[in-house]
Amino acid sequence: MNPYPLRVLLICDSSTERGRQARMRLDDIGLEHDVCPAIFPPPEHPWSPRYDEGRRIDAYGYPMVRGEIGCFLAHRNAWLRVIEGSAAMTLVLEDDAVLLGSDLASIRDVASATETKDIVTLLYTGSRLRFRRWLHIGNTSVVRPTGVAYGTVAYLIGKKGAFKLLTESEAFWCPVDEFLNLEYVHGVTLFHTYPFLASHPEEMPSLIGPRAKPEITSLRRLKRNFHRLVRRFRDGSCRLQTLVKIGLLFTKVKKPLSAA
């Protein structure tokens, strides 16, 4: 018996055509799944008591948009369901994720590896970052990117990782994909697969909507730059410690073949 049974959570609004299409794509490849409802905050501000707008404005100079908050809340609900469920590993998908039936075996192999149970593994980031190879499982590698890799389209997560992310996002101030990169905050190590085991159609619009960056005052720009420097220092220190901990500090950095 597989010691790490895989559960699939699809974040979507099943009442919409987009949500129905997302479910059909999974049904077509024979992937059983549960729906984790998308969240649309009320139009009235503030949108959620968990959103810390003061910290957000200090750190970035301008507030989050309503769609970003809804997206984060939906992922928090998914993490809670990971913790409460019986499966050791869960595949979390957004409604614009595309999986191939031919990749399901590789996804299950990565999910069932003992080494991956306490990390978050992104199956798609849209990035061609250089990386260090950590594990090689069948035709897939689990790799540590040299830089930040944004993407919550599809990822594997276990109970321990979900608990840490949920706990440290009780009051959040950035989009969920940026939050995942703040390893010094939540303590969960982030990897991704190479090659990617999921995709995202470029023509499919995000439910988050426009993310305009408004003009900010000189004082807010000064605060933003200070917070940015602090984040970069803490991130760099954390990433160095992680490379030491997982034994990759002196491992050769590789390029994606498409970027070679």
Alpha helices in the chain (DSSP H): 17-28, 53-60, 66-84, 104-112, 159-168, 176-181, 183-186, 218-245
CATH number of 6-259: 3.90.550
Q: Which residues on neighbouring strands pair with residue 10, listed in sequence order?
A: 35, 93
Residue 259 has pLDDT above 80, yes or no: no
Stretch among 41-50, 157-166, 204-213, 233-242 having the lowest mean pLDDT:
204-213
pLDDT at position 3 is 52
218-245 helix and 53-60 helix, angle to the nearest 10 degrees? 90
Q: 54: Cβ–Cβ under 8 A, 6 or more apart, which residues? A: none
CA-based radius of gyration for the chain: 18
**Confidence class for position 256, pLDDT limits 50, 70, 90:** confident
Structure tokens at 3: 């010691």
* 200-237 per-position pLDDT tens digit: 988 788 878 788 888 999 999 999 999 999 999 999 99
Q: Cα dist. 89→115, 151, 156, 243, 248 in Å? A: 12, 19, 7, 24, 25
Give residue limits of the domains in the chain: 6-259
**Confidence class for position 4, pLDDT limits 50, 70, 90:** low
pTM of the model: 0.94
pLDDT at position 172 is 97
Q: Average pLDDT, stretch 173-177? A: 97
